Structure 1
Amino acid sequence: MTSLMNTYARLPVAFVRGEGALLYDEAGTAYLDALSGIAVCSLGHAHPRLAQALCDQANTLLHTSNLYEIPLQQQLGELLCQRAGMDKVFFCNSGAEANETAIKLARRWGHTRGIHQPKIIVMDNSFHGRTLSTLSATGNAKVQAGFTPLVEGFVRVPFDDLDAVAALSNDPNIVAILVEPIQGEGGVHIPADDYLPGLRHLCDTNQWLLMLDEVQTGMGRTGQLFAFQHAKIQPDVMTLAKALGNGVPIGACLAAGQAAEVLVPGSHGTTFGGNPLACRAALEVVHILLQENWPQK
């Protein structure tokens, strides 16, 4: 008997500590952690620099709220924007929240352009989260089962099919494309080399936002800090989470150009997002990734 809701078919093993790529159970048996906390612990477990940074911050300040300036949040935002070629960032607690932010941003951007029934193009076999709108954007009927009615405003097309996207160019309500540079939960599908550049061209032609879900691919997991850098394009919006905190919950939605000006005071918010502890962790993670050249490893 357990007091936990039965949302996971958990394996009958409990880990009590970790070191590098290894996890240890209660009996001291070592396991090679090939799952990395579901694409989270890219630096491994108990990285000494990250552990020290967390201890130092826990002894200094954990939380204040976004009603006040948070210097660590500003430092992290500047570092990520500089590395990604973006202008502004909103910090939250997870990949689903980051994608929720992107969806809200796209809808609000549409309303500013006089589009009051905005639609977002999404892909078959995609995965963007388990909140109701990110679940609605997700292209997997199995995880959507039992949660209808889903949120409207998404148009689904096959992944890696530029013609299917181009066919929607005459729909006046389309405002954005939301796509994973490499599909993760859908089966690690890598698109053709011309796919992301082709989407960028279609977005430029139709005045759509190109929004990239880099929750799984970001933070050096593909050989570049961000997967879109392989395609030599620039998104309008990008979401991050997972490996950004190496186990400390944090998500981010970055935006560039006009998209970065859409959200204003009162339009979006978070209680815990971008708190000092999470930002200190993410700052240390990014510094380690860059200083130790992890993306190329």
Structure 2
Amino acid sequence: MPLFSVVIPTYNRAALLEETLASVFAQTLTDHEVIVVDDGSTDETLALLARYGERIRVLRQSNAGQGVARNLGIREARGEYVAFLDSDDLWPPWTLATFQQVIREQGAPSVVMGRAHSFQHSREVSDLESGAPRVQRFDDYLASADATFIRTACAVAVRTEALRRVGGFSDKRISAEDYDLLYRLGIEPGFVYVESPVTLGYRQHAASSSRDFDRGYEGTVFLLEQERRGSYPGGAARRRERLAMLLFGLRHVTHWMLEHGRSRQALALYARGLRFHRVLPRWRYLLGFPPWVLATSLRSRR
């Protein structure tokens, strides 16, 4: 059994996937298998993957979205942990070795989250520096609610048994399926955040899913609805921790949408969050956001 199963979902990204795979095969730790799940690509993806032979396991499905593709990879994984990598992102050579060291030194936590560095040109990832891991350890993911680090849900390694226990990813085509997974993993024992070194190069480009405003809106609505239904673990005793993270994310998304001219969606999310903000009020946001929406709308009409 390898320590890591590297799961890479991909859809029509042949132009970027080769560089992503090169970053995996450049890892200093070789105790891993590589699973690429093709989500019904119509470009040259399959021809590219065929060149790797037995170095990778290729799984195919009709186009069903990233969550479904990742779940197929989880079902087929043989490793103790699944490390997720998107097909447009890059790992520096020390990523898996860093995760291995953290797992050994921190008592085999259920979830290890790395730190991401946004880039546009791959040389920016090559310029990153390695080093001994500096980490923050928590009893579980929910216990990290008050931590101030930036949560990079696309830069995680998770115990395979824990992933299967919570049911993997949502099959909805939303941009928050990775955060939904983290909330469902919320009380699995052991969560470690790797402050340094950087373990993921997060590519910024026009086709990045993080720039899809409609999916961002739908994803945030989905997370709030899951909390309303009581779908996340921890019950009433851990509700404040869940809300601290959920509402932080909601505030970030509403600001992001407003900055990009999506004032109606931003205001709709603000309204949806009011019932939750009654539990954890942030008065500066609650009182200041509607006037900011109005001012932004007036400026856009000039």
TM-score of the superposition, structure 1-length normalised? 0.26
TM-score of the superposition, structure 2-length normalised? 0.26
Higher relative contact order (CA 8 A, sep 6+): 1
Larger helix proportion of the pair: 2
